[in-house]
Homo-oligomer: A and B are copies of this chain.
């Protein structure tokens, strides 16, 4: 066990808040529209750029027009493209030019909603990004109504595929449950509060406040599980079991019910290790063959920062 010394880190001067990366995740879309109404008066201590990531999809209230924008930020996808490429492939390059590339923002917060009962998650590619971890700790301390969790996708940064990966620091702020194409007031308010608390933390941090270190629970994604499917038609043959539905981040033990077949049969979790399910029955993942994801939880020690 070791106590880290306080780490001095550069200020977070340029922040991007993005919504509508998926055009039917409405809390982020309406929040960005609200933020765009309030013109900057030039006296803010932090420069915030507010972006509607996929305006065409938002206009149509669909996740995407041609391909999932939030899979278009890999190094490979950001190479020069023919003009005839899908809309989202071109849009990801525009967004990378605006927010990433040479003029990378210090922090990119990308707003998302899920049909799963996740509460608020900060989803990142790093389990040692002290800025993201401290913001998470701040939200956990300050948000009374919503559970806040830190999710880590353990992927090399050059394979990172999502918009938040183009900032120097970045995360998806994912809040659920909310149906796609619907805005629920409590979800909108939680997102608004989450963004405000993030900005408060950044302003305090930039003005020299020391934030004490401590521990944060990190959920590292281990694997995805698909729906059971008919061997001939490949159509799904079961729904998430009622005992598992809406139990995101509740430990799933070997033998626990996982699916209830349309024919009535219960299928159980056959893994050897108890793990934490999340994104349980997320609507947009049917087409990706993901009924839920499973994570391992561990406590990560973070240093004091200033």
- A interface list, Cβ under 8 A from B: 30-31, 33-34, 61, 115, 177, 179-186, 188-189, 235-236, 239-242, 245, 260, 262-263, 281, 283-284, 286-287
Contacts and interface: CB of A to CB of B under 8 A. Distances in A.
Contacts of A241: 185
Contacts of A115: 179, 181-182
Contacts of A245: 184-186
A185 B235 CA distance: 16
Most buried by B among A34, A181, A188: A181
A174 to B, nearest CB: 15
A240 B188 CA distance: 11
A34 B182 contact: no
A154 B113 CA distance: 37
B283 A180 contact: yes
Given A183-B236, A185-B260, A189-B242, 19 more contacts: A30-B236, A30-B239, A33-B235, A33-B262, A34-B262, A34-B263, A61-B287, A115-B179, A177-B179, A179-B179, A179-B180, A179-B283, A181-B284, A181-B286, A184-B239, A184-B240, A184-B281, A185-B242, A188-B239
A209 to B, nearest CB: 28
Most buried by B among A61, A115, A179, A283: A179
Contact of A30 (B182, B186, B262): B262
Given A262-B30, A262-B34, A180 B183 contact: no
A177 B177 CA distance: 12
Contacts of A182: 115, 179, 281, 283, 286
A241 B31 CA distance: 16
A184 B263 CA distance: 14
